[in-house]
């Protein structure tokens, strides 16, 4: 169901500084739109998930038909990765396996199967990176592997950490920048590490949690920094002109430790950090949620765009955060320029001030059951938004759901750890629900809304054909008009969607590729989504194109 011009009662905390109808920066379009290839996790370093291809468009998308299908053969956790396409070859990861496929036919060119160290098994993997003649894989046992792009032969393999000592892992796709492959790791202190693309030599490392004697360690109580963590769940973004890498960081891994003392902000958890691409030095940071006790993170994708602010073109970094607020920062300085809610049911805070201060924190308390919205799944999670410079809109899947959090009693005032979490519908609603919104990234104003009864797990794709694609958990792959939200086409792929669709061109023919397969994820959640019982597993890449000779 579409609700054109729908409003969520948004407010703009930096209204004095924002233009309501900014024009896009034309100079940025070529740099940040994909073309024939899909070379990086977010499309390009700006993470727009937007393609300049328009062979498939609003007038002919109804003719779209399957061109080929590839089955990975591994159905444990579905297929959550983002395919990478370079020079007509598609590179796909499933767990710690890597496949190279002919982009036009789906023919298997080579396959690499990673063998984890003893005691570890392959785990969830969100994709590979390609650059300098190699394909790069980050593994569940904290290794980085370089494969020859043409043959799939292992070129080098390095341990990013002592996996037995730190139990670190790499799930997000790597990022290739300036002859370095950069990975984000989960584990104690959290870390972002760069290796030389040719040799695997260690280049630099940034610890999210500062160590003894480092600036920011005073924001951790006592020696808690030693075990504090901040997972890197998503891939960072890169601005080549500023030579800065932007990465979102996770909660302080004390999120389930509800001590209720928020004077310790726990830097640099729940933050956006800007790092020098050559040295890894911290240029600036912005902490969205000091002392996160809700597991809301700030580790999701970061959109880089140039937009006018107060009559002056500004370089922006924009994040539609898991907690249901959009943060707009100057990407040169880290200055907060605006913040607004994009969810309808959030109650974890009453609001956020123009200076970024959390107003009215609603924290779980020991010995009580507290309704917290959003749930620990967030308003948005792994699934990425997309931005179109043609419409100047960001396309955002928004989950409206809550948790009833019951914490154990505190003993002698000691912190409580753990608790029970029951998914539930937002107040006033019979069930959790989702709406896919087309939003002005600066003002938060909705252009249109497409409503769903269940959660959208998959990422969004948008193209110069004024199309927006999204996969649904029941197996439907759908195309909407990016300008109006009107449904134009859909196809039942046979399994639910959790990955990230991409588009590319081989031999003059445009293709749309979508990963399918829900894996073992279960989202019945006490009846919140009873449809989940029918969501199918699978693990296939389904690729579409217009029929040969059609336009």
Alpha-carbon dihedral 279, 210, 120, 162, rounded to 10 degrees: 70
- Is 295 annotated as catalytic? yes
**Distance from chain centroid for Cα 508:** 30
Cis bond upstream, residue 268 (ω within 30): yes
Please, are residues 451 and 1 in contact by the beta-carbon 8 Å criterion? yes
What stretches of 84-174 adopt beta strand conformation (E)? 84-86, 89-94, 97-102, 108-113, 129-131, 134-138, 143-148, 154-159
Which are the contacts of 128, defined by CB distance < 8 A and separation ≥ 6? 81, 84, 91, 92, 93, 98, 135, 136, 137, 173, 174
Please, are residues 336 and 327 in contact by the beta-carbon 8 Å criterion? yes
Closest CA to 44 of 231, 139, 176, 146: 176
Distances (CA, A) of 535 to 384, 461, 495, 511: 21, 22, 7, 26
End-to-end CA distance of the chain: 29
Residue 506, SS3 per DSSP:
strand
Distances (CA, A) of 140 to 159, 193, 403: 11, 15, 29
Rounded CA gap, 32 and 128, in Å?
19
Determine which one of 77, 251, 292, 295 is catalytic: 295
List active site positions: 295
């Amino acid at each position: 169901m579409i609700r054109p011009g729908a409003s969520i009662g948004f407010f703009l905390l930096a209204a004095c500084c924002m233009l309501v109808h900014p024009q896009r920066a034309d100079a940025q379009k070529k740099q940040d739109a994909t073309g024939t290839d899909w070379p990086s996790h977010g499309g390009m370093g700006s993470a727009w998930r937007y393609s300049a291809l328009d062979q498939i468009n609003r007038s002919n998308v109804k003719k779209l038909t399957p061109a080929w299908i590839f089955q990975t053969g591994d159905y444990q956790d579905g297929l959550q990765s983002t395919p990478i396409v370079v020079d007509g070859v598609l590179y796909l990861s499933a767990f710690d396996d890597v496949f190279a496929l002919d982009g036009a036919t789906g023919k298997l060119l080579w396959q690499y199967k990673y063998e984890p160290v003893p005691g570890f098994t392959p785990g969830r993997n969100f994709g590979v990176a390609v650059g300098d003649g190699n394909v790069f894989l980050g593994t569940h046992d904290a290794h980085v592997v370089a494969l020859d792009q043409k043959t799939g032969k292992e070129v080098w393999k390095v341990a990013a950490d002592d996996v037995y000592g730190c139990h670190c892992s790499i799930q997000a796709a790597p990022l290739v920048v300036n002859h370095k492959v950069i990975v984000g790791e989960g584990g104690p202190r959290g870390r972002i590490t760069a290796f030389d693309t040719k040799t695997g030599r260690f280049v630099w490392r940034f610890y999210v949690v500062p160590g003894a004697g480092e600036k920011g360690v005073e924001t951790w109580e006592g020696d808690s920094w030693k075990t504090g963590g901040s997972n890197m769940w998503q891939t960072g973004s890169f601005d080549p002109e500023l030579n800065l890498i932007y990465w979102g960081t996770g909660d302080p891994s004390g999120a389930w430790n509800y001590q209720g003392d928020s004077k310790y902000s726990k830097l640099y958890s729940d933050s956006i950090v800007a790092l020098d691409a050559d040295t890894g030095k911290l240029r600036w940071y912005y902490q969205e949620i000091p002392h996160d006790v809700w597991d809301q993170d700030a580790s999701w994708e970061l959109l880089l765009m140039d937009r006018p602010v107060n009559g002056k073109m500004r370089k922006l970094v924009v994040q539609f955060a898991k907690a249901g607020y959009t943060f707009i920062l100057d990407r040169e300085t880290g200055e907060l320029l605006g913040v607004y809610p994009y969810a309808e049911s959030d109650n974890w805070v009453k609001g956020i001030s123009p200076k970024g201060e959390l107003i009215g924190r609603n924290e779980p308390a020991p010995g009580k059951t507290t309704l917290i919205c959003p749930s620990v799944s967030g308003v948005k999670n792994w699934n990425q938004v997309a931005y179109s410079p043609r419409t100047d809109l960001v396309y955002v899947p928004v989950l409206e759901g809550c948790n009833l959090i019951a914490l154990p009693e505190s003993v002698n005032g000691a912190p409580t750890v753990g608790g029970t979490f029951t998914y539930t519908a937002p107040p006033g609603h019979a069930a959790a629900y989702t709406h896919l919104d087309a939003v002005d990234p600066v003002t938060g104003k909705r252009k249109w809304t497409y409503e769903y009864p269940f959660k959208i797990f998959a990422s969004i794709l948008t193209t110069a054909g004024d199309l927006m694609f999204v996969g649904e958990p029941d197996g439907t792959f759908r195309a909407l008009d990016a300008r109006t939200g009107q449904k134009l086409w859909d196809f039942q792929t046979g399994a639910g969607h959790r990955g990230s669709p991409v588009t590319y061109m081989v031999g003059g023919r445009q293709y749309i590729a979508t990963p399918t397969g829900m894996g073992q994820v279960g989202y019945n959640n006490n009846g919140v989504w009873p449809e989940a019982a029918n969501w199918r597993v699978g693990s296939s890449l389904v690729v579409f194109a217009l029929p040969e000779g059609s336009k």
